[in-house]
């Protein structure tokens, strides 16, 4: 094993293409413990520096999928859809999108995760609902998706153990920030999770792992390419994450905002993102001919209260107190609040999502180790980018866990806001749209909505795909 691994490292170091067999040898050998960390690290660094082409990235993804169990959704009738976000601040989209798309007739089999770094995790948000159980075994998960149309659960089977090992090593060897390595890591878990249709929300900006739209676009393309090559219908939206999504950051606060959105009273950016991602799912699933048709259907589903009813059913099916859906006042609340006020008047020119996430953490919404101090803790943004504010008016509220000092959280929030004299030009939320070019070929009857900067697949596909920052 040692010699062939040495040859394999040298091959990638010299910028040559690895075969599927070589990639499988590496992944299987490393997962089994036959290849030492120092050789795996050297190969990862060679990949980081030299990149992987589309075919190598697909082989890596396949080998990682094969390292563990797979969710077999074949017992669930119909087309099964899944959604993945690369992580943002205030991103409670899953809580709205899953019941919304299910109420429109699709099966949403959603496996979610916990918080990662500064970004929130859906399972932590759902845990704020008293009694909610996200630990469904495979049988209960399949049965609920079939009966209710949707379930949101943590991974109960050992999906992609190779990724677990490799991710840890990447974290220790400064090789996380590589587009093919991130793309194969994310897509191996999505492929193993078994859905037919996968929609990716790739976030770009201060509150995201990918800081620029260009980097996010590269990642989106790589992931769509992998999924399509592996027989799934995959689409991606590149979306802005400069300021938080919606107005609430923190577990119970975000659940309340998601419920308000399901009632038709959501913040415009969250509503827009849910409709945009949902429309992609419906079109990819063949349930709507065009994005416009899909959007109107979803908007109607929301207006008629059907998505809210489905969320109530989902919460109840998973043991949660469904009364919170009608009375969000029953959700946990932090014992104290403090306000940040504007020292001068004007318009909010910028709102730094990363600093807001840090302020929410300081308030007790999340601990360094990923735990939660108080599910009720977090931040409510009373002003967002473009909003006018007068001197002395409230910019944001922090909801503080017991025993937490307010000044650190307020200081971070104060740095997060930039107030200017002129109203800033509004920036688009959806920055780009990447889908399989075959699906979007001209003449197939599918329209591209106005305002998208490029038609998917119309730009060159880079093969040395290293992101400069995550
Ligand atoms: N999230 C993942 O699942 N994998 C990565 O490599 C980075 C972010």
How deeply is 421 buried, as exposed, middle or buried, from its count of CB atoms within 10 A (0-12, 13-18, 19+)?
exposed
Assess whether pLDDT exceeds 70 at residue 316.
yes
> Token digits for 107?
């099966």
Specify the range with the lowest mean pLDDT, choosing from 110-119, 141-150, 223-232.
Answer: 110-119
Whole-angstrom distance, CA of residue 470 vs CA of residue 230: 26
Higher-confidence residue of 294 and 77: namely 294
The Cα–Cα gap between 324 and 132 comes to: 11
pLDDT at 458 over 70: no
Nearest CA to ligand 1 atom 7: 182
Look up residue 220 and give its two tokens. Answer: 């989106």
Phi-psi region of 442 (alpha: psi -120 to 50; beta: other; left: phi over 0): beta
**CATH fold of the domain at 2-51:** 1.20.970
Ligand 1: atom nearest CA of 186 is 3
Residues in a beta bridge with 152: 110
pLDDT at 3: 54
Is 84 known to be catalytic?
Answer: yes
pLDDT tens digits, one per residue of 267-287: 999 999 999 999 999 999 999
- Categorize the per-residue pLDDT at 371 as very low, low, confident or very high, splitting at 50, 70 and 90: confident
Distance 260 CA to ligand 1 centre (A): 30
pLDDT tens by residue, 124-146: 999 999 999 999 888 899 999 99
Q: Based on the residue annotation, tell me whether 163 is a catalytic residue of this protein.
A: yes
Whether residue 27 is predicted with pLDDT greater than 50 in this model: the reply is yes
Statement: 80-325+430-462 belongs to CATH 3.40.1030.10: yes
Among residues 64, 111, 43, which one has the least CA distance to residue 83? 111
User: Can you say whether residue 378 is alpha, beta or left, with left for phi > 0 and alpha for psi between -120 and 50 degrees?
Assistant: left
Q: Where are the domains of the chain?
A: 2-51, 80-325+430-462, 333-420
Given this structure, which CATH class describes domain 333-420? alpha beta
Q: What percent of the chain has pLDDT over 70?
A: 92
Site to substitute for ligand 1 among 167, 203, 211, 215, most atoms within 8 A of C-beta: 167
pLDDT given for residue 443 in this prediction: 40
With contact defined as beta carbons under 8 Å apart, do 383 and 414 qualify? Answer: no
109-113, 308-312, 423-427, range with the lowest pLDDT: 109-113
Which protein residue has the closest C-alpha to ligand 1 atom 3? 186
45/218 Cα distance (integer angstroms): 19
- Checking if the pLDDT of 23 tops 90, the result is yes
pLDDT at residue 454 is higher than 90? no
At residue 438, the pLDDT reads 56
Q: Is 189 marked active-site?
A: yes
Beta strands 150-153; 378-381: pairing state: unpaired
């Amino acid at each position: 094993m040692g010699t062939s691994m040495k040859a394999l490292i040298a091959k990638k170091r010299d910028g040559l293409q690895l075969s599927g067999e070589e990639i499988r040898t590496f992944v299987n050998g490393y997962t089994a413990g036959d290849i030492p960390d120092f050789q795996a690290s050297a190969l990862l660094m060679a990949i980081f520096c030299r990149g992987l082409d589309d075919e190598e990235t697909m082989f890596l993804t396949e080998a990682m999928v094969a390292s563990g169990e797979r969710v077999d959704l074949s017992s669930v009738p119909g087309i099964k859809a899944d959604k993945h976000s690369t992580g943002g601040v205030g991103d409670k989209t899953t809580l709205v999108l899953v019941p919304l798309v299910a109420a429109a007739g699709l099966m949403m089999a959603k496996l979610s995760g916990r918080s990662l770094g500064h970004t929130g995790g859906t399972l932590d948000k759902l845990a704020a609902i008293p009694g909610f159980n996200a630990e469904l075994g495979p049988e209960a998960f399949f049965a609920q998706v079939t009966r209710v149309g949707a379930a949101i659960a943590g991974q109960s089977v050992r999906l992609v153990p190779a990724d677990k090992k490799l991710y840890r090593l990447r974290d220790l060897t400064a090789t996380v920030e590589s587009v093919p390595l991130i793309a194969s890591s994310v897509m191996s878990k999505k492929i193993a999770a078994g859905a037919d249709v996968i929609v990716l929300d790739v976030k770009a900006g201060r509150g995201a792992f990918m800081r620029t739209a260009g980097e996010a676009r590269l990642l989106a393309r790589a992931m769509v390419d992998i999924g399509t090559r592996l027989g799934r219908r995959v689409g991606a939206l590149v979306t802005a994450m400069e300021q938080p999504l919606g107005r609430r950051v923190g577990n119970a606060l975000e659940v309340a905002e998601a419920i308000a959105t399901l009632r038709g009273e959501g913040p415009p950016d969250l509503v827009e993102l849910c409709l945009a991602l949902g429309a992609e799912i419906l079109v990819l699933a063949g349930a709507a001919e065009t994005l416009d048709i899909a959007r109107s259907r979803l908007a109607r589903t929301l207006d008629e209260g059907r998505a809210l009813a489905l969320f109530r059913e989902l919460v109840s099916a998973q043991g949660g107190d469904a009364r919170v859906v009608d009375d969000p006042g029953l959700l946990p609340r932090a014992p104290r609040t403090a306000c940040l006020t504007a020292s001068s008047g004007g318009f909010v020119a910028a709102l730094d999502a990363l600093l807001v996430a840090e302020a929410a953490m300081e308030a007790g919404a999340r601990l360094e180790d990923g735990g939660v101090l108080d599910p009720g803790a977090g931040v409510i943004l009373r002003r967002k980018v473009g909003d006018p504010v007068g001197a002395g008016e409230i910019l944001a509220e922090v909801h503080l866990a017991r025993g937490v000092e307010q000044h650190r959280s307020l200081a971070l929030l104060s740095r997060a806001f930039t107030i200017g004299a002129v109203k800033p030009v509004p920036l688009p939320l959806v920055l780009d749209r990447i889908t399989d070019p075959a699906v979007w070929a001209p003449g197939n009857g599918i329209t591209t909505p106005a305002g998208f900067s490029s038609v998917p697949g119309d730009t060159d596909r880079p093969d040395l795909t290293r992101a400069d920052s995550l």
